Each structure stands twice: as structure tokens, then as C-alpha cells.
Structure 1
Amino acid sequence: MSDAPEAPVAPEVRQPVVTPVRVIIALCLVAPFVAMLWVSSYAKADPDFIGIPFFYWYQMLWVLISTALTLIAYQLWQRDQRGRKALKDGASR
């Protein structure tokens, strides 16, 4: 065994798991569920839109909104993952 002191090992830098971007991603994905599960907010016939009761057109509108929010969440996730990978690759060099 050697009595020579060992070089100190630098602690691994870990990024936090909960970041503002990840909170926004979660909100984008949860919002449609909350909107659709809160039935009392849209369980009515008025106002109608081109003869379609509010109950139906509100749900159809959320199909489009959900698509947009999912796309935003996906793009934010991809950007977050690229940033984490770049940080990891930069730290390992």
C-alpha cells in the first residue's frame, strides 16, 4: 500500500431535477386534463357558436389547444435535453 495522499476527486455537478422549464412542461401537459375534468365550468348550452352548444365546441377547442400545448412541451423537453447533454459533455472534457 502506498502512503502517498490521493488526489481529491471533484464532486460530480448535478443539475436539479425540477427546473423552471420542466415546471412549464408539466403545466402544458396537465392543463388539458384540468380543463376537461372540471366539467361544471362548461356543462351548459350557452353561448352557442354557429348553432353548436358551448358544451361541444368548448371540448373541440381543447383538442386544438391540447395539440398546441403538447407541441410546446415536446419542443421545450427537446431543448432541455440538448442543454443537459451539452453541459454533461462540457463537464466531462
Structure 2
Amino acid sequence: MSSAPEDEMVPVQPPARPPRLPIGVGIAVAVLLAIPCIALAAVPTYSSETPKLFGWPFFYWYQVMWVLITPVLTIAAYLLIKKAGRR
């Protein structure tokens, strides 16, 4: 029985890995992404009613503030990674 050409095993090259980030960029990205996690994990630091902002207790407006800040930090981390990849 002869084997057809389509039956032959052709080695497939795995995709090339992107270059590693410089250590300083990696640390900066980790810090930027860790800031909101740490700030929101420390519940005792913001579990109070005062000071109020527009009638909202501190507990609520503090968390809403982080909902707005977190994407900014995430975009900054993304831009650092993208800039480091261009080198």
C-alpha cells in the first residue's frame, strides 16, 4: 500500500515567542496592576461612612473611584508593554 502525500507527517513549527520584557518594564506593569488590587483588598482602610461625597458614604464612593482609576492604570500598563515590544 503506498502512502499518499497528504498522509505524510509534516513538522509544524510552534509560533515564535515574543521577546521578554525588560525587567524594569515588567516591574512597572506589575506595580500598576497591583495598585487597585491592594487598594481594594484593604477593606478596613475604607470601611466607614465619613467623609461623604454628594451624600454617598465613603465606602461606596471610594470603590466607585477605583472603578474609574483601574482602567487608566490598565491602559498605562498596556502602553508600557506595547512600547517595550517595539524595541
Question: Helix, strand or coil: the match of 2:86?
Answer: helix
In the TM superposition, residue 17 of structure 1 has moved relative to its aligned partner by 5.6
Aligned to 2:58: 54
Aligned to 1:38: 42
Q: What 5-or-longer segments of structure 1 have no aligned partner?
A: 1-14, 84-93
The correspondence of residues 79-90 of structure 1 with structure 2, limited to 5 A, is 79-83=83-87
In the TM superposition, residue 19 of structure 1 has moved relative to its aligned partner by 1.2
Q: What 5-or-longer segments of structure 2 have no aligned partner?
A: 1-18
Aligned to 2:28: 24
Over the aligned positions, Cα root-mean-square deviation in angstroms equals 1.6
- Corresponding residue pairs, total: 69
In the TM superposition, residue 71 of structure 1 has moved relative to its aligned partner by 0.4
In the TM superposition, residue 25 of structure 1 has moved relative to its aligned partner by 0.6
Aligned to 2:71: 67
In the TM superposition, residue 42 of structure 1 has moved relative to its aligned partner by 0.3
What is the TM-score of this pair, normalised by structure 1?
0.69
Q: Which runs of 4+ in 1 moved over 4 A?
A: 15-18
In the TM superposition, residue 81 of structure 1 has moved relative to its aligned partner by 1.2
Answer whether contact 2:22 2:84 (CA < 8 A) is retained: no
